[in-house]
Amino acid sequence: MATDIKDTAHSVDAASVMRLVPNRPRLLALGEPTHGEDALLELRNDLFRQLVEQEGYRTIAIESDCLMGLVVDDYVTSGTGSLDDAMAHGISHDWGAFAGNRELVRWMRDYNDGRPASERLRFAGFDGPLEITAAASPRQALTALHGYLSARVDTSLLPCTADALDRLLGADDRWTEPAAMMDPSRSTGRSSEAGELRVLADDLAALLDEQMPHLLAESTAEEWDRARLYARTANGLLRYHHWMADSSPARLTRLVSVRDQMMARNLLALADRGPVFVYAHNGHLQREKSSMRMGGDRLEWWSAGALVNARLGADYAFVATALGTIRHRGVGTPPPDTLEGMLYALPQQSSVIDPARLALTLGDTSPAPRVSPWFGYAALDPAHLNAIDGIMFVKDVTRS
């Protein structure tokens, strides 16, 4: 069987990936099974460079705060700020410290230097302003949206003044209270002020749509895109805070669902620029339902990839990364009866696998699910093979 599996494997490059999809997708997604490994980020960077040079991709979107990402985009497109500032303030989850992410941003800035705007590379975060322990205050998104509209439409059309918005928002630490993640009673998401803000955010977003012809004429394309981002983010954050204050058994499922819905809406907006290369955890990009255990409960929800795929169809492609070992994390050689164990027989350190040909090769053999010995790594579910366009297999991930 190992010989047959070798016939399904190709070198990791843009040409090998593009042969697995029927057309150039508007969103080409590469998933990772764990975060923070520079070996995987280096492969991502190499693939993005080739997609830029050979396939005309101009935007990369990563699993990071969509508002913070504007800092990186300003840096790579126009040189605003410095590389250190972009890494410190433009990428969330502390991932700006990863060498692979720093090299990506540095290369993008170098590539853009001296090029006309139409040829420049763009950077985007597509996650909400959410961290493990807290969600951001909706202040930045709401005030930016209000400011954009107040500068361009009759102020009598605005549902509130900037001062009223500030009063309702109050202190930002009301929104970012870490204890609220585990204790819904500590959340401000269902206060009377939060309720008023949800209505106002909806009204501001509606005004954006109502005034679209005028606003498009009065704005640059960049200003319009950012206003829409602020509207999506304000509404998404307020919905997320609302469910943080919920005490029902559905609370955690609603929170992870809202997060992936925010991701999906950002990706669909980016697809209008198209084509976009997307990089995030496999669980956020897969077409099947995602699942995880949190607080002893099993949660299931539709991922951003599933939501985007439902809208874009063939314009969405998903390549999942699977790996053999991460020995510095306690992840040793995969059992031979698992999908990763079968792929571990490949001689190459990294390969691109055609899942359709792999399924034919396996025939009636059903790989056993791999049980991860480390919580930070999620093995590839062999039941998802028919919903994946490609597999990038990395044999051994070594310490950075």
- 318 exposure class (CB count in 10 Å sphere: 0-12, 13-18, 19+): buried
DSSP string, 18-82: HTTSSS--SEEEEEESSS--HHHHHHHHHHHHHHHHHH---EEEEEEETTTHHHHHHHHHH--S-
pLDDT at 3 over 80: no
pLDDT at 337 over 70: yes
Strand partners, 320: 391
In total, how many domains does the chain have? 2
- The answer on 278 and 386 residing in a single domain is yes
- The answer on 158 and 118 residing in a single domain is no
- The answer on 372 and 325 residing in a single domain is yes
Whether 109 is covered by a domain: the verdict is yes
Q: What is the predicted pLDDT for the residue at 5?
A: 80
Whether 1 is covered by a domain: the verdict is no
Tell me the pLDDT band of 244, cut-offs 50, 70 and 90: very high
User: In this predicted model, what pLDDT tens digit does every residue of 118-153 receive, in sequence order?
Assistant: 999 999 999 999 987 889 999 999 999 999 999 999
**Residues 385-399, mean pLDDT to the nearest whole number:** 96
Dist. CA 278–CA 318, nearest whole Å: 9
- 162 exposure class (CB count in 10 Å sphere: 0-12, 13-18, 19+): middle
User: In this predicted model, what pLDDT tens digit does every residue of 203-212 receive, in sequence order?
Assistant: 999 999 999 9
- The answer on 389 and 267 residing in a single domain is yes
pLDDT at 245 over 60: yes
Residue that is last in its domain, among 221, 248, 275: 248
User: In this predicted model, what pLDDT tens digit does every residue of 104-119 receive, in sequence order?
Assistant: 999 999 999 999 999 9
- The answer on 38 and 149 residing in a single domain is no
Helices (H), the chain: 2-6, 14-18, 38-55, 69-78, 83-89, 99-112, 139-150, 162-169, 192-210, 212-218, 221-244, 251-271, 282-285, 304-312, 339-343, 355-362
pLDDT at 66 over 70: yes
Whether 96 is covered by a domain: the verdict is yes
User: In this predicted model, what pLDDT tens digit does every residue of 284-316 receive, in sequence order?
Assistant: 999 999 998 877 789 999 999 999 999 999 999
pLDDT at 1 over 50: no
Q: What is the predicted pLDDT for the residue at 2?
A: 43
DSSP 135: B
Q: What is the predicted pLDDT for the residue at 296?
A: 78
Q: What is the predicted pLDDT for the residue at 301?
A: 96
Phi-psi region of 131 (alpha: psi -120 to 50; beta: other; left: phi over 0): beta
- The answer on 120 and 140 residing in a single domain is no
- The answer on 323 and 221 residing in a single domain is no
Residue that is last in its domain, among 248, 277, 297: 248
Whether 254 is covered by a domain: the verdict is no
Whether 256 is covered by a domain: the verdict is no
pLDDT at 4 over 90: no
Contact at 8 Å (CB) between 240 and 130?
yes
Whether 371 is covered by a domain: the verdict is yes
- The answer on 95 and 23 residing in a single domain is yes
Tell me the pLDDT band of 247, cut-offs 50, 70 and 90: very high
Contact at 8 Å (CB) between 31 and 281?
yes
pLDDT at 7 over 90: no
User: In this predicted model, what pLDDT tens digit does every residue of 186-223 receive, in sequence order?
Assistant: 999 999 999 999 999 999 999 999 999 999 999 999 99
CATH number at residue 42: 3.40.50.11550
Least confident of 62-66, 214-218, 371-375: 371-375
- The answer on 128 and 191 residing in a single domain is no
Torsion of CA 80, 93, 370, 341, to 10 degrees: 30
- The answer on 197 and 99 residing in a single domain is no
User: In this predicted model, what pLDDT tens digit does every residue of 350-365 receive, in sequence order?
Assistant: 999 999 999 988 888 8
- The answer on 331 and 235 residing in a single domain is no
Q: What is the predicted pLDDT for the residue at 99?
A: 97
- The answer on 312 and 230 residing in a single domain is no
Tell me the pLDDT band of 400, cut-offs 50, 70 and 90: confident
The phi and psi torsions of 347 (rounded to 5 degrees) equal: -75, -25
Q: Which domain holds residue 79?
A: 6-132+263-397
Q: What is the predicted pLDDT for the residue at 13?
A: 95
Whether 258 is covered by a domain: the verdict is no
Whether 257 is covered by a domain: the verdict is no
